[in-house]
Amino acid sequence: MPTINGDLSAKLEPLIAVLTDEPGEAAEILNRLLAVTSRFVEGGGAPAEVPMSERTSFLITYGDSIRRTGQAPLKTLRHTLDATVGDRISDVHLLPIFPWTSDDGFAVTDYYEIDPNVGAWSDVTDLSATRGIALDFVANHMSSQAGWFQAWLNRDPSFADFFITPAGDFDASQVVRPRTTPLIHDYERPDGSTVSAWSTFGRDQVDVNVANPATLEALTDVLLTYISAGATTIRLDAIGYLWKDSGTACIHLPGTHAIVKIWRAIVDATAPGVKLLTETNVPHPDNISYFGDLTDEAHMVYQFALPPLVLHSFLSGSAARLSAWSRGLEDLGAAATWFNFLASHDGVGMRPSRGILEPQEQEALAARAHASGGRASYAMEPDGSQSVYELNVNYVDALVDDAERRDDAVVAARARAAHAILLAQIGVPAIYVHSLFGSRGDTAGMESSGVNRRINREKLDADTLLAELGSDARRHGVFEAISHMLEVRRGQPAFAPTSPQEVLDAGDQVYAIKRGTGAQAVTALVNVSRTPARVDGYSGTDLLTGDRFDSPELAPDGVVWLQGS
């Protein structure tokens, strides 16, 4: 593939120069990257390109979130989605489906195998026949039981320098940590000696050494293997921590950005249409830095500020904070977009809301999480104070207070209103499996495991779920509301990922945005308050009901998507 290699080399060389100023090492990295790319191209493994559009919507789920006795969970997931949402969900983000030892899948032991408790590669292929597939690439670290790490402990020369033993003069005093566990752990070698290794997320999750050319080649091979298997989106988990330099925070470093750009260049050259999605749960300016120049790094970044701001809107009864923030969003053009979500397998990250919400507003959200049966975790600030770090709570539960939670109709209406914002917002929408199906918080699972995030990770029996979608008022109401909006959305070009967005002024009670232009434009109005709100000056036909409105009066949790005049 001389043309691809020539063009790709020209793109890779300046990026590799960020990683090393040693000519020999730079040449080795380039040759390794070209070699692994050539193997991928010769294998012919790139999926067909499917451009994102208003029909694009993601479901976020574990491979075994839905189970049926005697059936591989990935098969069960496919059958359940076919029987419920059909083509209203276009893509499925599968959280790690590989063998693991801890952190509910994020301590991977083998990048190349599917956890037999979830299914097999053939099940991924079957699922990809009708939906796009996003696979989780846990590139920053792996399980301490992984074959790569065990080979390194055993001094296998093929894995020399695959992991990091910091030099004695390495200054780690400024390292940013998402955990309170030690940064460095000692591990026993087969001969009884011990060796230390860098472990950002804890003892069982050992960071890889991407400064080593062989490690970078191996990781790139994993990335391309996932694409060969049919992945149309690759989620780069915890990618901000990838590169380490003495005396720095070891997060968002130039080396990390260079590697994401290297992978983007390789993907663009060999599998155009495949998207890179970066997961960086950090304040907004750091988060959007992974767009690069909007053409050379991530295709999508998580919109981490959206979940706490939407929750704050319904808790406070005011969309003022959400509107002001949304009004200030950067214009990304046509080459990049936001990955919007409200709930996920993790909690509601609060760090991205810093500078947007006041500390007392963040504390109010923490109090709501506790009142909803969940938890809130805190981070220590440099001055010794504490700030809210994450809310571990079922998102739909958190939207309503204790009294409202007893009224399934109110729960469904509130969930509908929140997801109407998600589905109308510029970018690509992603809905968590437990939000789509109206699940309640799994407090028993959280308490029995001692893992706060388990409140939102319940495993559902497929047949019970299908029955409850017809008999359980909460499940039925939430599912039907979200499913209907998905169906309407996919027929409106105004909701394409990069279609223009204008934030309107409809008073603090109402979140109001206009998407698209001309006759196809849609104005979304959502009342986030507990009192009716009249919205003067807006008219059109509500796409969700077919009703005609002139200056509509929205009930609490009321929603209209207006088109025409």
User: How far apart, in whole angstroms, are the C-alpha atoms of residue 149 and residue 109?
Assistant: 9
User: How far apart, in whole angstroms, are the C-alpha atoms of residue 305 and residue 311?
Assistant: 10
483 within 8 A of 462, measured Cβ to Cβ: no
Closest CA to 323 of 88, 118, 502, 560: 502
Q: Which residue has the tokens 């571990």?
A: 392
**Strands 428-432 and 337-341, bridge-based pairing:** parallel
What is the dihedral angle through the alpha carbons of 277, 280, 284, 289, rounded to the nearest 10 degrees?
-60
Strand, coil or helix: 235? strand
Question: Is 542 designated active site?
Answer: no
Closest CA to 397 of 374, 363, 364, 423: 374
User: How far apart, in whole angstroms, are the C-alpha atoms of residue 454 and residue 339?
Assistant: 23
In sign, the C-alpha dihedral spanning 435, 440, 444, 447 is: positive
Token representation of residue 543? 């796409």
The alpha carbon of 337 is separated from its chain's Cα centroid by a whole number of angstroms, namely 13
Closest CA to 77 of 69, 90, 67, 87: 67
Q: What angle do CA 282, 209, 177 make, to 5 degrees?
A: 30
User: How far apart, in whole angstroms, are the C-alpha atoms of residue 282 and residue 28?
Assistant: 33
In sign, the C-alpha dihedral spanning 341, 237, 60, 101 is: negative
90 within 8 A of 56, measured Cβ to Cβ: yes
Tell me which of 237, 268, 346, 397 is the catalytic residue.
237
DSSP type of residue 241? G
508 within 8 A of 530, measured Cβ to Cβ: no
DSSP type of residue 44? T
User: How far apart, in whole angstroms, are the C-alpha atoms of residue 514 and residue 560?
Assistant: 12
Distances 12 to 7, 41, 288 between C-alpha atoms, Å: 9, 17, 22
The alpha carbon of 537 is separated from its chain's Cα centroid by a whole number of angstroms, namely 37
Closest CA to 523 of 544, 532, 533, 509: 544
Element (H, E) at 370: helix 359-371
How many residues can be counted in the chain?
Answer: 565
Residues with a catalytic annotation lie at 237
